[in-house]
Amino acid sequence: MGYAEFHRRSLEDRDAFWAEQAKLIDWETPPQQICDNSNPPFTRWFVGGRTNLCHNAVDRHLGARGEQPALIYVSSETNEERVYSYRELHSEVQRFAAVLKSQGVGKGDRVLIYMPMIAEAAFAMLACARIGAVHAVVFGGFASVSLASRIDDATPKVVVSADAGSRGGKVVPYKPLLDEALRLSNHKPGSVLLVDRKLAPMEMTAGRDHDYATLADRHQRTTVECEWLESTDISYTLYTSGTTGKPKGVQRDVGGYAVALTASMKHIFLGNAGETYFSTSDIGWVVGHSYIIYGPLLAGMATIMYEGLPTRPDAGVWWSLVEKYKVTSMFSAPTAVRVLKKQDPAFLKKYDLSSLRALFLAGEPLDEPTAKWIAESLGRPIIDNYWQTESGWPILTVANGVEKKASKFGSPGVPMYGYDVKLVHESTGEELKGPDQKGVVVIEGPTPPGFMQTVWRDDARYVNTYWSSIPGRQVYSTFDWGIRDQDGYYYILGRTDDVINVAGHRLGTREIEESISSHPNIAEVAVVGVADQLKGQVAVAFAVVKDTSGLTDEAAKLKLEGEVMKVVDEQLGAVARPARVRFVTVLPKTRSGKLLRRAIQAVCEGRDPGDLTTIEDPTALQQIKDLVATR
């Protein structure tokens, strides 16, 4: 069956299609109804079925591959490396589950996980899934105020944390941040479990704080059976990055998520049992949930959990892991590739990468120069994919596990099975059916398995935020602009709230960034719209230069700025030309690699940039402040 037919069946013969996919996992009780869309947009999947994520990720593999690697933990920060077989992972997860139960955690209780990238974080997530608790993972090192707001929203019975994380060789103490968050929060969890890595001193609060290792020792051989859950029960909540005000917890189910991820490993990510998968993300983000912890284990693969930077101890560290563990599928972000692009290319030739079938990239739009560079350097397919915390798995990519299909540079691909993706006019809601028409990327309901159920404890917010922004239609808005070519491939042009209105012309920042990136000496760029009395808004660009040796004085910078503006003129026209192109050494991003465009815009307009707890390098925004101050 070709992919077009596969996709058509997933929409037109929905129940039969997803009933087939549901056979990829184990069910204690088979589903009684495949898709219940009687109360849109609240779609329910595999109703009446009972299953368990931990059983499918761990227990069901014990017979066939109990001694095979399951979790490969590597830290280039602390020089630790340990391989856990499926049987060892099973024991560790049961132990963690026993500790959670000893603290009163049961089905439906929330457990907030505030952890570095260590094996115990994986054990904690899987232990929650095992006993039916709902985990809410918050990125390790998140600031106290933001953490407190998530504690109040999730109301966890237990918080799981550690003494510290480490980044770039620098210890980041977590316990003081957590203590302050617990002081600030209105909700007070019953207990705090702490993994002591011996990286930073910890002050323990008597009666509340517990050393995890001490409690785990009491449960060396405790058996904790899986709790069979309704398919529609909650598996976890995850707070979306970049939200302001009240946290927005994406809520996900059990059965739909298990089926969606297992199917995606087969159809999209080319993962087979016994092979090794390497996602360079963090468990604090949705990619970490879907494709470090659950997806690879559901597929019976070994999954690499990596703590560290892509450049430490050197820029070959990731490729050394590909060689050592014979990684077949790798998942990273365009930002990481741009970082590696600045390093010695010899590191890409140093290791045997023959096991690698493909490199998958997601997290932000993949520009063509970066895609071409890594494709040529690796000699492997580079497969972009587009999705969101809300979707849980890719919306747009190519499903080479169904039918081999060419990737196109600059495009994440075509709609995945189960997703009825459309382009609509932002103000009329009219569907745009022809090629190369710019519209808002939306998804018609019912949304597929694995998609968010709702916003945690706020159904009205789910409807109002996601399903009510297109006039006259109840469709899910991605809040992204896109176009579709004659072959059905989509191109993402940037957020609908990243549109610049220059003298009545509507311009997407993504289009201008693509143009600027095509200049041979530009490594990376962020474009924002800045308020202007004459034109309403003007585009301002901040660019990272590949070779700075020629930028010795102001005249050289002005010359390069002129060259960049000329490129935009030629490609997009004078209306899209930035008012200024400023050169910086680093752009402000979140730790997951997303550009903080709103913060850049706020600084340019003299406003408060807001909550910057997720910023990777605080000096990045300071550079922009200094440039703006001297204009």
The whole-number pLDDT of residue 625 equals 87
The whole-number pLDDT of residue 622 equals 87
What is the CB-side half-sphere exposure of residue 353 using CA atoms within 13 A? 23
608: phi then psi, degrees, rounded to nearest 5: -70, 125
| Residues 480/499, Cβ–Cβ less than 8 Å | no
DSSP state of 281: S
| Residues 454/462, Cβ–Cβ less than 8 Å | yes
* Mean of pLDDT values over 532-549: 87
Q: What predicted TM-score, i.e. pTM, was given to this entire model?
A: 0.87
The whole-number pLDDT of residue 502 equals 76
The whole-number pLDDT of residue 506 equals 67
| Residues 200/175, Cβ–Cβ less than 8 Å | yes
**Residue 248, C-beta contacts closer than 8 angstroms, at least 6 positions apart:** 239, 240, 455, 461, 465
pLDDT digits (tens, 9 = 90+) for 235-256: 999 998 543 457 889 999 999 9
Distance CA 400, CA 414 (A): 12
pLDDT above 90 (res 590): no
- Exposure pattern of 566-603 as b/e (b: 16+ CB <10 Å)? ebbeeebeeebbbebbbbbeebbbbbbbbbbbbbbbbb
In the numeric block, which tokens belong to residue 468?
């009510």
| Residues 163/194, Cβ–Cβ less than 8 Å | yes
| Residues 348/370, Cβ–Cβ less than 8 Å | no
CA distances 158 to 100, 110, 126, 152, 155, Å, are: 8, 7, 15, 13, 9
The whole-number pLDDT of residue 448 equals 98
pLDDT above 50 (res 80): yes
pLDDT above 70 (res 271): yes
Average pLDDT of the chain, as a whole number: 93
pLDDT above 90 (res 507): no
545: phi then psi, degrees, rounded to nearest 5: -95, 140
The whole-number pLDDT of residue 243 equals 38
Q: How confident is the model at residue 334 (pLDDT cuts 50, 70, 90)?
A: confident
* Mean of pLDDT values over 49-77: 98
* Mean of pLDDT values over 13-25: 98
CA distances 358 to 363, 376, 609, Å, are: 17, 13, 38
Q: Which of 162-171, 428-437, 619-628 has the lowest mean pLDDT?
A: 619-628
Q: Angle 540-541-545 (CA atoms, 0-180°, nearest 5)?
A: 160
The whole-number pLDDT of residue 581 equals 95
* Mean of pLDDT values over 19-42: 98
* Mean of pLDDT values over 304-325: 96
* Mean of pLDDT values over 508-518: 85
DSSP state of 392: S
Q: How far is CA 612 from the centre of its chain?
A: 18
Number of helical (H) and strand (E) elements in the chain, helices listed first? 21, 32
- What domains, with CATH codes, occur in the chain? 3-308+385-479 (3.40.50.12780), 503-629 (3.30.300.30)
The whole-number pLDDT of residue 613 equals 67
| Residues 402/21, Cβ–Cβ less than 8 Å | no
Largest CA distance in the chain: 73
The whole-number pLDDT of residue 196 equals 98
Distance CA 414, CA 397 (A): 5
pLDDT digits (tens, 9 = 90+) for 364-373: 778 888 889 9
Q: Tokens 């060892």 correspond to what residue?
A: 88
pLDDT above 90 (res 395): yes
